[in-house]
Amino acid sequence: MIIERLAAFRAKMQSHDIAAYIIPSTDPHQSEYLPEYWSCRAWLSGFTGSAGLMVVTSTKAGLWTDSRYFLQAETQLEDTTIDFHKVLDRSKAYYLDYLCQELKSGDKVGLCPLLFSKLQIERIKKHLSDCGIEVVLSEDLFEEVWIDRPSLPTETVFDHPIEYAGESRAKKIEVVRTEMTSYGVGNYLVSTLDDIAWLLNLRGRDIRLNPVFMSYLLICKEKTYLYINADKVESELKAELEDVQIYIREYAEISNDLKALESTDSLLLDARSANYSLYQALGHLKVTEGKNIVKHLKSKKSKTEVRHIENAMIKDGVALCHAFHWLEQEIENRTVSEYDFAVKLAACRGEQADYYGESFDAIVGYKSNGAIIHYRPEKDQSAMISKDGVLLVDSGGQYIDGTTDITRTFCLGEVTPEFSKAYTQVLKGFITLDNAVIPEGTNGGQIDILARQYLWASGKNYSHGTGHGVGYFLNVHEGPQGISPGRSMGATTPLEQGMITSNEPGYYVEGQYGIRIENVILCQPSEYENFLSFRSLTMYPIETKAIDKSIFSKEEQKWLNDYHQNVYDRLSPYLNAELKAWLQEKCQSI
């Protein structure tokens, strides 16, 4: 099927006189998770990972993705004729070097300007022009080739009540306008879906796992315009929006309305996220490229948001108690598939109040599957969990009052000294990062080593970041902050009070097991002036059976015992007698 799709796509390229075509893994809003309509790369390649880029030439096709998906890509691309290329440094555009090697001077490379930012287009043009290759901003070729392409989503938008949001949409927009003044602009264009949802206290169902909706937002000096399929906004909500001068415009009208702005107008946008097609409508304006104001405001959670997130974490911990207690009982008498346990996790979360859905597809990796960093069990291709080996489970939930993301590694039988040492090194790094006290202005790239140091000391490492921002009933992966090496925005953004980030060091041995421990942590003031510290919000016990006590310090032991006491105190009131006793055993002091 993939081979036939590639042939049809190449024929369409030839009809447009295009020698190669670049296909990213995104939509017009630079989203990580996509509506099915924009899942073009997955449809053409068969690779379903959330990150990756594809290039198709007249005779070859290649796909580039990072280490989280190496094993998955190797499996899914088998027998497709698509070459798999490993991305070892995400700051480098290896596919551009590939195009320079495969094409000749004078050839044309096509891409859809809706799917790339201005900065990306500029980088692509500069690199390829040095090789004499022309970049053609073409229409969406998939519209002509993908015959049964899904339609754009039409689910209705809903209100995120003020008791959860904490601040009114009018107040949030007022804060944004104040920042606009500092840039000296009269208009501000927002194209990132989670930022629009947060700013307007709205949520949607357009993208699976992410409660957002396809839209653009134009904030002017007095009025705000939401570009969205008007049928998604019910009349009562539309009236509420208009009461605070937020007006609905059709999604497809954004370019025409931008072109209609007066030539004397000024406009601010984020060059990292605004797609190039929008820039094409702005040539007559004075455009200022600045930071994404809303993203930075959204990243610093208010006291109201933190309070609700803490409540969501308790519900999530209770759900996990039910799920893992069930698993332990089941494998006493039978095996349980990874897929069935992922379904059970979602079901247990679904029993909690204000549950909306999963925040990402659960990673349930038994034994060797745990080494596949973003492994997702399929119903018909799933390992059977039994009373031996190691199980890695990374899962999360969306609640009206928060988004959760937690990973635990479970020892279901005897473990080797080698595994025990590696597990303990991961746990030590996890605790060290949680305990960190950092000067204000410190960024995630500067503290990433705290989580890796014990692994590094024995020549071990992991290839993913240590932490990512987490949304508030929004995307589970949220910027601008993060904890990782390198020079990415996440690594270089200073951590600030109210930012919520994951703490998830790991270690993986291909073909054997995976280790990862993850909590969501809150950045808060420390006891020292001008210093910050962290506090774990996630509430669920950490596996203790594999700890190598010969390398586990008394201070680390105290942290773990204190954490477990807190977990028991917070969760036990919501459990029956049987589960309470089970949790008490899991949280016993070591």
Residues 21-53: tens digit of each pLDDT = 999 999 999 999 999 999 999 999 999 988 899
pLDDT value for 68: 81
Pair 139, 28 in one domain: yes
CA distance 372 to 283: 46
The reply to whether 234 and 373 lie within a common domain is: no
Residues 85, 31 share a domain: yes
User: Can you give the pLDDT at residue 283?
Assistant: 86
The torsion angles phi and psi of 38, rounded to 5 degrees, stand at -100, 10
Q: Inform me whether the pLDDT recorded for 465 exceeds 80.
A: yes
pLDDT at position 215 is 98
One domain, residues 70 and 186: no
CB contact burial 119-144 (16+ within 10 A = b; e otherwise): ebbeebeebbeeeebbbeebeebbee
Residues 295 and 314 in one domain: no
pLDDT tens string 258-302: 999 998 889 999 998 999 999 999 988 999 999 899 999 999 999
pLDDT tens digits, 519-553: 999 999 999 999 999 999 999 999 999 999 999 99
Compute and round to an integer the Cα radius of gyration of the chain: 25
Task: Indicate whether 457 and 394 sit together in one domain.
Answer: yes
Residue 407, strand partner residues = 394, 518
pLDDT of 139 reads 81
Residue 488 has pLDDT above 90, yes or no: no
CA distance 554 to 558: 6
Q: How far apart are the first and last CA of the chain?
A: 55
Residue 587 within any structural domain of the chain: no
My answer on whether 307 and 290 are in the same domain is no
203 inside domain: yes
Stated as kind and residue range, the H or E segment containing 424 is: helix 417-434
- Contact, 460 vs 425, CB < 8 A? yes
pLDDT, position 536: 98
Note the pLDDT of residue 95.
Answer: 95
Q: Domain ends where: 116, 145, 174?
A: 145
The CATH number covering residue 513 comes to: 3.90.230.10
Q: What's the whole-number average pLDDT of the chain? A: 96
Average pLDDT over residues 390-400: 98
Rounded percentage of the chain residues whose pLDDT exceeds 70: 100
Q: What would the DSSP string read from start to end of 290-312?
A: ---HHHHHHHB--HHHHHHHHHH
Is there a domain that residue 150 lies in? no
Q: Residue 503 has what pLDDT?
A: 98
Query: Do the domain assignments include residue 28?
Result: yes
Banded model confidence at residue 391, pLDDT cuts 50, 70, 90: very high
Residue 590: inside a domain: no
pLDDT digits 0-9 by tens, 171-229: 999 999 999 999 999 999 999 999 999 999 999 999 999 999 999 999 999 999 999 99
Of all residues in the chain, the percent with pLDDT exceeding 90 is 92
The answer as to whether 152 is a domain residue is: no
Does residue 520 sit within a domain?
yes
Structural tokens at position 84: 């798999």
Q: Which has the higher per-residue pLDDT, 73 or 467?
A: 467
Residue 483 reports pLDDT greater than 90:
yes
> Same structural domain for residues 33 and 164?
no
pLDDT category at 70 given cuts 50, 70, 90 is: confident
Together in a domain, 289 and 310: no
Question: Which residues 6+ apart lie within 8 Å of 3 measured at CB?
Answer: 80, 81
- Provide mean pLDDT across the span 397-404: 98
User: Residue 55 forms beta bridges with which residues?
Assistant: 22, 62
**Sequence letter at residue 208:** R
What is the Cα–Cα distance from 370 to 204, expressed in whole angstroms?
32
pTM: 0.95
Asked whether residue 101 falls in the same domain as residue 228, the answer is: no
Q: Which domain-ending residue is among 145, 174, 189? A: 145
CA-based nearest residue to 55, from 41, 39, 68: 41
Domain boundary among 280, 299, 318: 299
Q: Convert the pLDDT of each residue in 81-109 to its tens digit.
A: 999 999 888 778 899 999 999 999 999 99
Provide the CATH number for the domain around residue 289. 3.40.350.10
User: Which residue range forms the structural domain that includes residue 26?
Assistant: 2-145
User: How many domains, in total, are found in the chain?
Assistant: 3
- 113 and 63: one domain? yes
User: Is residue 586 included in any domain, yes or no?
Assistant: no
488 and 419 fall within a common domain = yes
